[in-house]
Structure 1
Amino acid sequence: MRSGYSELLGSMRPTSTNAVVAGEADPSEVIEVSVILRRANPIDVSRRRSVLTREQLTERHGAQDNDVQAVSAFAASNSLSVVKVSQGTRTIRLSGTVGQFANAFDTTIVNLDEQGAVSRALSGPIFIPEALNGVVVAVLGLDTRRVARSHVQLVQSQNVLSSFYATQIRDLYHFPPDLRGDRQTIAILEFGGGYQSADFATYFHQEGLGAQPSVEWVSVDGNMNVPGSVDDTEVALDVEVAGSVAPLADIVVYFAPWSELGWIHAISMAVMESPVLPTVVSVSWGWPETLWGDMAISAIDAALADAVALGITVCISSGDWGSNDGTSGQTTEYPASSPHALACGGTVLQSDGVNILDEVGWPGSGGGISAMFPPPPWQNFGYSGRAVPDVAANAVHYKIHFDGADAVVNGTSAVAPLYAGLIALCAESMLGSHGAGFLNFTIYEDFSAQSTFRDITAGSNGGYSAQPGYDLVTGWGSPNGAALLDVLETLSFAQVQLQLS
């Protein structure tokens, strides 16, 4: 370690047992890295607070001028260029060569081969000048390893006795029939794949949807809407489910790299830097919590906390690999395990076309106890950590249309956009009252809200079983959309009356 430097805690990521170092990274390659700064003032979003505007959030809890100047001076002294400063997201984006960054942060950057996928990675921790200790909370972009996988699975349609259009699921869960998501914006984060607008037009026509949502896409760090890969299934499912529930909503799809840097830039762009503040955010991607680095989780979670402060619920699917999340032990999936997310698990639904006949926990539903986050104040179950999921809905046999063909898919991926669409409907009805705000507060703190969910008492995800009340397979259960809206409107009216008294 260089004299006058100290280690940036949490900067080392776990390395897969299948990873092999394939030499040092090219020192002449030009890259961009984001330095995340501390807040001017701490923010507590663990309990219900007044909703802030972006301007208020930046002024009270953004980066300090002195900190920006200190990091900018450090960059200049190491021949790094400042590309962009965002005080609201507390981010300074720097450009330079791999060699310059390795020297500036006193670290070694290598190429890591993980079963044929080669990425940049750190072979040791990041070090920063002691004068910046506490000022810099994260340095993201030196490591480009994958930390995102989609939560959708193609199934053989000939093996499916019945499948559902998203509008059928919407009706079975009694979503408010007269609401369409008018004047609402649903942001959807994608870390791969692409779409063709003609596929959406075909799908919405097939299910008899009169209106069709406006869909546009935004590039994050150069990632584009490039259809033609297996991840197109994820993009199609997300947009077609959200659009079926809220056909008059504006849907904005953010295509980002599947790296740590891609995550924080996608969240920040959608929540803090988009032209229109989103009503809700939907994410159907994640990575086992045990395979993330602490520094990245801390930085990304601060961006998710910004969403809570702005009254935005970020709906995140809990994963499709049950209680072990595809690893050798019990673990939850991040960012669904964040206390600043609505974690969406899965069920298996049976119906006669009009009513739900039976509903049980889906075996793939991600759920368990976070090893990273303590229990938030609104979760009082006696668990050692944040419990996942919060809610659930049907995760099997969704009809989609992508790449010019029909398909049937499973996955909690469907549940996040389903709830995002429901929240958009609620916000449409509650215009002028910040919509539903962060939904977790209401669900956990109000018995009348809990009672609107169908309690799922059967089914298992491998490590846990569904049971009466909250459980680690389906959370509080599946929604009755109209009943939930009634509760939200009643609570909103009561809060307004309290403020006026």
Structure 2
Amino acid sequence: MSWCKDGQARTTQVISGPRRFKKHVREELLARSVVVRWISNMKLSVCALLAVLLGLACPSPSSATAPVLSPRVVQEHRGEVPSGWVPVRRAEPDVILPLRIGLTQSNLEFIENYLLDVSHPESPNYGSHWSPAKVAAMFRPSRESIDSVQEWLANGGIDPTRISLSTSGGWLRANVTVEEAERLLETEYYVYEHEADGTEHIACENAYHLPEHISKHVDIVTPTLHFDIKLGSASIGRKRSPGWRGQKHGHGSQPTPPKMVGKSQKHQQYPADSLNSCADQITPACLRALYDFNYTAVATNRNSIGVVEYTPDIYNPSDFDVFFKRFSPSQVGQRPKMVSIDGGTIDVSRVTLFQTGDPWTQASFNNFLDAIDGSYCTFEHGDDPPYDAIYPDTSGERGAYTGTNQCGTAAPTYIISSSYAYDEYVLTPSYMQRQCAEYAKLGLMGVTVLYASGDAGVAGSDGECLDRNGNPSSSRNAKRFVPSFPPSCPYVTAVGATQMVSGASVDDAEVACQDGVISGGGFSNIFAMPSWQQSTVEHYLQTYPPSVTSANYNTSGSRAYPDIALNGAKYLTAVLGDWYPIYGTSASTPASAAILSAINDARLAAGKGPIGFINPIIYSSGFQDAFNDITKGANPGCGTNGFSAHPGWDPVTGMGTLNFSKLLAKWLALP
């Protein structure tokens, strides 16, 4: 069970079969929700009627003995319980929930303008990145929001001594019982069980409500609707032995990396390093030739690049030496600098590894954001318990991290590469929007954030699609595409994948990757299309109208991705001492990060700042010829051909692959 009294799981006899009970619960909840909302909205008129009939006086809504009555509104809603979960019983009223309320942040409506001011090539303030202190001060929730929500909690029976405010002012916390939470949120909590392994979790059925005058001060309340929890001992996107293609975790309920491992056959012990064999195996020399990437770093003491990894995904130090011995002998013995976040460990510079989470509780995106941005932390032990790991880890397992959740202890690098993602439908819009804003804040501070776009084309990470009601389904009739988050966040740079065709040379054009993996891309169901992308995407839609329709994807003007691409097939990789070909946007993303980091190096050496948030630049007219255009291939899925690659930007390979020499010259010309 995710939440339990006194730290102990409690069991109750299941009332009836899970599927039958689920239908009964949904119908009962709907009926009760309608009645409760009707009563809430009718309270004053009923009192007035009784006053006329009985000659009594109604208490004034503004009197000291009766708080102002405000109609209830739906704060968040979920159409269906995620696949695999069924309700088995009501949550016991005295179970303790760690209630956390994410307050509305100030000035977020201006965040895109702020970001464009320091990121657009035509802005006079290009490159004038903000300090962390300025970012924290600009977006701190207002005193009105803090006071209003605290007063609402107190009027709801929560003693003020139980209410705590985070240091950033962004979150309010109070441990409450299920009974108290149900009264505050006008909802009912149930224990859900996962059919695959029996994992139990407490959540609301389909919605929770807030008073209308409070709703405007709140982004999100947890725990409520969220089912993004770890099942059993499953990891966040565990990459196992070669040949493993991704473990299924309850239909997208885990943050998983796009598939990296393709074909499982071993290569020869001492692979060739020839440009003539790049169509069969990608080596460092191949990448240099494909992307005109020839550069010697000169500002290594000032430059930085980071790769995010989530335990138990770790690197094997000896494999570095196997690889270096063959392709870069001078680097034998070198290792990335590891920043351990919340107990992250490895088996045994200039590149930083953000190893996040202990081997048992593990971690998620917000745990990482906590560590690099102290203003994002909540009061104690993590941001959002249903989504993120809670520390200290009280499991008692060997290696469990018993320290508190790290907050602002890891300095962000200039470039951060991450190869993990969720399917959008798994998360609530409020959760995604709040996290997306944090990536915008990193951009304001001069950080470039890259995310892999996914490896299943227009389908979800498990190959699932959405039905006409927006629910995940494996049915052939489910034709609606599944966007990926965070790639769909407009404030990250999403990276797709390309490949060389069989028999091609490094001088030949690449195509969209379809060998082993399919480059992910499409249109968000949550985020609007940013201004810097509109003209480019509209040109694509008008000039090359997709064969798919609004029945398949969001055509209302939403964020389109990926933004760029790079080779994602047949990377020759040392794995436990042997050589294997690796596939995926998980490979194209850190390779892109390395090329962009070299541009940072050159700018820093010239006395300039890092490139920061790059999306407004790469979509600008002055930069569009600095990419190798990909015009062949597609990203099929959901019983369709998906989208097709065409000249210019497309939702398969973005603007195309990086041409280092052209990009370097253009970025060095900027202030």
- The normalised TM-score by structure 2 is 0.62
Partner of 2:256 in structure 1? 149
Q: Does 1:214 align with 2:336?
A: yes
Q: Is the 8 A contact 1:13 1:294 kept in 2?
A: no
| 1:57 lines up with 2:135 in the alignment | yes
* Cα distance, 1:23 vs structure 2: 3.0
Q: Distance in 1 between matches of 2:304 and 2:163?
A: 32
Partner of residue 496, structure 1? none
1: CA distance, partners of 2:286 / 2:178: 52
**1:398–1:410 Cα contact (<8 Å) kept:** yes
Task: Report the equivalent of 2:592.
Answer: 419
User: In 2, Cα distance between the equivalents of 1:342 and 1:310?
Assistant: 15
Q: For the residues of structure 1 that align with 2:89 and 2:280, how far apart are their CA atoms?
A: 52
CA distance in 1, matches of 2:523, 2:306: 28
Q: How far apart in 2 are the matches of 1:359 and 1:374?
A: 30
Residues 395 and 106 (structure 1), Cα distance of their counterparts in 2 relative to 1, 3 Å cut: same
How has the CA–CA distance of structure 1 residues 258 and 296 changed in structure 2, closer, same or farther, with 3 Å as cutoff? farther
**Cα distance in structure 2, aligned partners of 1:288 and 1:115:** 20
Residue of structure 2 equivalent to 1:409:
582
Map residues 413-452 of structure 1 onto 2, 5 A cutoff. 413-431=586-604, 433-447=608-622, 449-452=623-626
Alignment map for 1:232-243 (pairs within 5 Å): none
Cα deviation code 1:306-355 (max 9, x no counterpart): 12222322111111111233223223212111111111111113599993
The SS at the match of 1:300 is: helix
* 2:663 aligned partner, one-letter code: L
Match of 2:190, as an amino acid? V
Name the amino acid aligned to 1:44.
I
Which residue of 2 is the match for residue 249 of structure 1?
351
> Which of the two has higher C-alpha Rg?
2
CA shift in 2, pair 1:29/1:478, >3 Å: farther
How far 1:393 moved relative to its partner?
Answer: 0.6
Alignment deviations for residues 154-178 of structure 1 (CA, whole Å, 9 cap, x no partner): 2234387833345643553233421
CA RMSD after TM alignment: 3.5
1:411, CA displacement in angstroms? 1.0
Structure 2: 5+ residue stretches without partners: 1-35, 41-69, 119-128, 229-252, 268-278, 375-407, 466-477, 542-556, 637-641
Q: What does residue range 270-285 of structure 1 map to in structure 2 within 5 Å?
A: 270-272=372-374, 273-285=408-420
2:630 paired residue number: 456
Residues 461, 84 of structure 1: CA spacing in aligned structure 2 closer, same or farther, 3 A cutoff? Answer: same
Contact 1:315–1:342 under 8 Å retained in 2: yes
State the alpha-carbon separation in 1 of the partners of residues 360 and 80 from structure 2.
Answer: 16
- Of 293-302 and 75-84, more deviation after overlay is shown by 75-84
In structure 2, the partner of 1:128 is: 210
> Quick one: distance in 2 between partners of 1:344 and 1:289?
17
Answering whether residue 182 of structure 2 is matched by residue 7 of structure 1, we say: no
- Once the two structures are TM-superposed, the CA of residue 439 in structure 1 deviates from its matched residue by 0.7
One-letter amino acid of the counterpart of residue 341, structure 1? V
Query: Do the aligned residues in 1 keep the contact of 2:323 with 2:574 (CA within 8 Å)?
Result: no
Q: What is residue 653 of structure 2 aligned with on the other side?
A: 474
The answer to whether residue 293 in structure 2 is matched with residue 175 in structure 1 is: yes
Does structure 2 retain, via aligned residues, the 8 Å contact 1:345–1:389? yes
1:8/1:128 contact within 8 Å kept? yes
Q: How does 1:44-123 map to 2 (within 5 A)?
A: 44-45=111-112, 48-50=116-118, 51-72=129-150, 77-78=157-158, 81=162, 85-87=166-168, 90-96=170-176, 100-116=180-196, 118=199, 119-123=201-205
Q: Which has the higher contact order (CA 8 A, sep 6+)?
A: 1
Return the match for 1:368 from 497, 522, 533.
Answer: 522
Equivalent position SS for 1:45: helix
Equivalent-residue separation in structure 2 for 1:27 and 1:409 (angstroms):
50
CA distance in 2, matches of 1:15, 1:257: 28
Is contact 1:183-1:250 (8 Å) kept?
no
State the SS of the aligned residue for 2:508: strand
Cα distance in 2 for partners of 1:352, 1:183 equals: 41
Post-superposition Cα deviations, 1:359-403, rounded to whole Å, max 9, x if no partner, equal 100131111222322221111132532221110011112233456
Q: Unaligned stretches of 5+ in structure 1?
A: 228-246, 493-501
**2:381 alignment partner in structure 1:** none
Deviation for aligned residue 1:258? 13
Pair 108,71 (structure 1): closer, same or farther in 2 beyond 3 Å: same
Query: Would the aligned equivalents of 2:511 and 2:632 in 1 still touch at CA under 8 Å?
Result: yes
Determine if contact 2:81/2:205 at 8 Å carries over to the other structure. Answer: no
Deviation per CA, 1:223-280: give whole Å up to 9, x if none: 74488xxxxxxxxxxxxxxxxxxx6233323349999x94334334334534423212
Tell me if 1:164 matches 2:230: no
- State whether structure 2 residue 573 is matched by structure 1 residue 400: yes
Structure 2 residue aligned with 1:342, among 459, 477, 493? 493
CA pair 32-162 structure 1, distance change in 2 beyond 3 A: farther
Distance 1:355 1:208 in 2: 21
User: d(CA) in 2 for partners of 1:83 and 1:406?
Assistant: 53
Residue 486 of structure 1 aligns with which residue? 665
Is the CA contact (8 Å cut-off) linking 1:176 and 1:425 kept in structure 2?
no
Shift of 1:196: 4.8
Change (3 A) 1:309 1:28: farther
1:332 corresponds to which of 468, 475, 483: 483
Q: Is the Cα contact below 8 Å between 2:453 and 2:495 reproduced in 1?
A: yes
CA shift, 1:21, in A, is 1.9
For 2:445 and 2:635, the matched residues in 1 are separated by 34
| 2-structure distance, mates of 1:63, 1:301 | 17
Contact kept, 8 Å, 1:34 with 1:91, in 2: the verdict is yes
TM-score where L is the length of structure 1: 0.81
Paired letter, 1:393: L
Code of the residue aligned with 1:315 in structure 2: it is L
Change (3 A) 1:264 1:450: same
Kindly tell me: are residues 460 and 352 of structure 1, through their superposed partners in 2, closer, same or farther at Cα, counting changes over 3 Å?
closer
Tell me if 1:378 matches 2:460.
no
Matches within 5 A, 1:187-206: 187-196=306-315, 198-199=317-318, 201-206=320-325
Distance 2:163 2:319 in 1: 40
- The question of whether the paired residues in 1 share the 8 Å contact of 2:499 and 2:569 is answered with yes
In the comparison of the two structures, how many residue pairs are matched?
Answer: 468
In structure 1, the partner of 2:239 is none
Deviations 1:424-458 (A, max 9, x none): 222222225331121111100133x2212111111
Structure-2 separation of matches of 1:452 and 1:434: 20
Distance 1:323 1:437 in 2: 28
Partner Cα separation in structure 2 for residue 338 and residue 291 of structure 1: 15
Aligned-partner Cα distance in 2 for 1:107–1:25? 12
CA-to-partner distance for each residue in 1:16-39, whole Å, 9 max, x for gaps?
344322334566665545422222
